[in-house]
């Protein structure tokens, strides 16, 4: 039986893992290669590795670090942050990334999704969407590390990304990110029902029950979190044991 995936996210800035609260006030949480290896041993199903400085500072993604992680890791990992071209993706895949995640560049030029899917296959193209709720417009998509409102409806954008050939959606609720109050069940469920590709829920995980809720109530295929794992607040194995007790299929 296909299992629900637990995915620690390594936000990278200047070669170190950091996690901000709503993308501000970054704290240092460790060496990414050491963390990657630790998570693989503890039973993480996948890793996401986001160079959060790349877009703002127009810096190339850290190829050397990707290579070091790939050398160490025997589970799949996704790399994102500042990816804007077919050449960027090729360089990351050649150095051992299993998938790439694109965000701002896809919103600026949605045809990029079609081009990447045609060149590399949908299976390695993740479209990341950062969504924020406001009462007037509902859930809208933001770019540039959450600083710019595109004015696009989150569900519509995710559906378009899927139609253009994305293999997976990484949906982050910026309204929940860093709060530890739980995932955004409404938008996650709406996106999951709107597309036929897997959806990774991100933003807001604070407890084991939050993961149960996002799998049972919002049909997420995977749950992603950073700080609760980096600071050892929840162990991956104990999280998965909790999920199994709740009747959710997991790999233990």
Partner 1 sequence: MEIAVVDYKGGNVQSVLFALERLGVQATLTADHEVLRRADKVLFPGEGEAASAMQELRAQGLHEVLPTLTQPFLGICLGMQLLGQHTQEGGGTDMLGILPFDVVRFPALPEYKVPHMGWNNLQTLNSPLFEGLSAEDYVYFVHSYYAPVGEYTIAEAAYPAPFSAAVQHENFYAVQFHTEKSGPVGTRILENFLKL
Exactly one of 174, 197, 201, 224 binds partner 1 (CB under 8 A); which one?
197
Exactly one of 94, 134, 147, 233 binds partner 1 (CB under 8 A); which one?
94
Do 130 and 107 meet the contact criterion of CB atoms below 8 Å apart? Answer: no
- Residues with Cβ within 8 Å of 245's Cβ and at least 6 positions away in sequence, in order, are none
Specify the stretch interacting with partner 1 by CB under 8 A; choose among 13-21, 67-75, 79-87, 139-147: 67-75
- Residues with Cβ within 8 Å of 24's Cβ and at least 6 positions away in sequence, in order, are none
Q: Which of residues 158-177 bind partner 1 (CB under 8 A)?
A: 167-168
With respect to partner 1, which residue has the nearer C-beta, 26 or 63? Answer: 63
Asked about 130 being catalytic, the answer comes back as yes
With respect to partner 1, which residue has the nearer C-beta, 1 or 87? Answer: 1
Exactly one of 11, 51, 177, 221 binds partner 1 (CB under 8 A); which one?
221
User: CA 183 to CA 189: how far, in whole Å?
Assistant: 10
CB of 224 to partner 1, least distance (A): 13
User: CA 159 to CA 179: how far, in whole Å?
Assistant: 27
48 in helix, strand or coil? strand
Exactly one of 10, 107, 129, 222 binds partner 1 (CB under 8 A); which one?
222
Residue 145 burial by Cβ neighbours in a 10 Å radius (0-12, 13-18, 19+): buried
Q: Which of residues 99-158 bind partner 1 (CB under 8 A)?
A: 118-124
Do 250 and 243 meet the contact criterion of CB atoms below 8 Å apart? Answer: yes
Given the residues 11, 45, 88, 221, the one annotated as active site? 11
Q: Is 75 in the site for partner 1 (CB under 8 A)?
A: yes
Q: Is 217 in the site for partner 1 (CB under 8 A)?
A: no
- Residues with Cβ within 8 Å of 78's Cβ and at least 6 positions away in sequence, in order, are 46, 47, 48, 49, 97, 98, 99, 100, 101, 126, 170
Exactly one of 27, 59, 71, 148 binds partner 1 (CB under 8 A); which one?
71
Asked about 14 being catalytic, the answer comes back as no
**Residue 109, both tokens:** 């030029």
The residues binding partner 1 (CB under 8 A) are 1-5, 40, 45-46, 67, 70-71, 74-76, 93-98, 118-124, 167-168, 195-199, 219, 221-222, 251
Positions marked active-site: 11, 130
């Amino acid at each position: 039986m296909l299992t629900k995936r637990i995915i620690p996210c390594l936000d990278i800035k200047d070669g170190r893992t950091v996690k901000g609260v709503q993308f501000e006030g970054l704290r240092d949480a460790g060496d990414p290669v050491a963390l990657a290896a630790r998570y693989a041993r503890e039973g993480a199903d996948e890793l996401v590795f986001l160079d959060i400085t790349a877009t703002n500072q127009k810096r190339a993604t850290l190829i050397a670090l990707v290579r070091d992680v790939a050398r160490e890791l025997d589970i799949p990992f996704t790399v994102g942050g500042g990816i804007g071209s077919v050449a960027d993706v090729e360089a990351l895949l050649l150095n051992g990334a299993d998938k790439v995640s694109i965000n701002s560049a896809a919103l600026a030029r949605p045809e990029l999704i079609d081009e990447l899917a045609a060149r590399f296959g949908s299976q390695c193209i993740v479209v990341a969407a950062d969504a924020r709720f406001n009462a007037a417009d509902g859930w809208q998509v933001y770019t540039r590390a959450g600083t710019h409102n595109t004015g696009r409806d989150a569900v519509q954008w995710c559906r378009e990304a899927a139609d253009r050939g994305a293999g997976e959606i990484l949906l982050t609720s910026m309204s929940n990110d860093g709060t530890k109050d739980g995932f955004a069940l409404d938008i996650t469920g709406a996106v999951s029902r709107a597309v036929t590709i897997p959806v990774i829920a991100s933003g807001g995980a604070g407890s084991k029950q939050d993961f149960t809720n996002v799998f049972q109530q919002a049909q997420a295929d995977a749950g992603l979190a950073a700080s609760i794992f980096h600071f050892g607040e929840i162990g991956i194995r104990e999280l998965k044991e909790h999920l199994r007790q709740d009747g959710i299929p997991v790999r233990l």
